[in-house]
């Protein structure tokens, strides 16, 4: 009986942690990848990395590969298929504003 009660307590703690702290869960288990519930938003910088005056944001995708495909298609459309002068990032997670900027859980290429 004690084992059943302990198991229920552990399950409840895990459920509350996942429900209340999805960012912590994502950082713990999917540090540099999207968690199953997170969107992946491409940011393409035609003139260089993080030039916020000239950035194109794509629609949210489910995977990093879809994000990368979108960025490569944008670069190819600009005549820059090898990213010789531009760059891109895949922003992972739901964005929030801080100091007038969009902040994501993490970013990767």
> Cα angle vertex 44, ends 68, 86, to 5°?
100
Domain, as residue range, for 23: 1-31
Are 24 and 50 found together in one domain? Answer: no
Counting the structural domains of the chain, the total is: 2
CA-CA distance, 86 to 78, in Å (whole number)? 10
pLDDT > 70 in the chain, percent: 86
Residue 16 confidence (pLDDT): 56
Are 4 and 37 found together in one domain? Answer: no
Are 4 and 47 found together in one domain? Answer: no
Are 9 and 38 found together in one domain? Answer: no
Are 25 and 77 found together in one domain? Answer: no
The list of the chain residues with pLDDT below 70 reads 11-21, 49-51
Query: Using one digit for the tens of pLDDT, what is the confidence trace for 36-54?
Result: 999 999 999 988 766 677 8
Count of beta carbons in the 10 Å neighbourhood of residue 91 = 24
Are 68 and 37 found together in one domain? Answer: yes
Residue 98 confidence (pLDDT): 86
Are 53 and 82 found together in one domain? Answer: yes
Residue 13 confidence (pLDDT): 64
């Amino acid at each position: 009986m004690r084992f059943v009660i302990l198991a229920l307590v552990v399950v409840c703690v895990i459920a509350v942690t996942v429900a209340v702290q999805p960012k912590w869960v994502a950082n713990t288990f999917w540090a540099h990848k999207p968690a199953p519930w997170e969107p992946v938003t491409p940011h393409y910088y035609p003139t260089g990395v993080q030039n916020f005056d000239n950035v194109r944001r794509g629609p949210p995708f489910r995977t990093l590969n879809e994000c990368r495909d979108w960025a490569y298609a944008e670069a190819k459309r600009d005549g820059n298929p090898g990213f010789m002068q531009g760059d891109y990032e895949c922003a992972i997670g739901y964005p929030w504003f801080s100091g007038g900027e969009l902040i994501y859980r993490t970013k990767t290429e």
